[in-house]
Amino acid sequence: MAGLLCYVLGWILYIDWWIVSPIIGIISVILWIVLMLKVYQGERWKVPVAGDFAEKNMHMVG
């Protein structure tokens, strides 16, 4: 019974990743294009979570 449960959960996670992975890729490309346009226009725009993290840890770089 446990083997069957693991088998079913494995397929659910595989199918879920098969659907979620392309969505993450598309969102990443869209975000990349938006950020490139903002930089090209000379605007300073911070990505909500990653921007805060980067500003907080900038002292480690130099």
Give me the average pLDDT of each 10-residue run along the chain (62 residues). Answer: 80 77 90 92 87 84 67
pLDDT the model gives residue 58: 83
Residue 60 DSSP symbol:
G
Largest CA distance in the chain: 60
Tell me which amino acid residue 36 is: M
First to last CA, the chain: 56
Retrieve residue 32's tokens.
């990349």
- CA proximity to 47, closest of 22, 38, 23: 38
pLDDT the model gives residue 11: 80
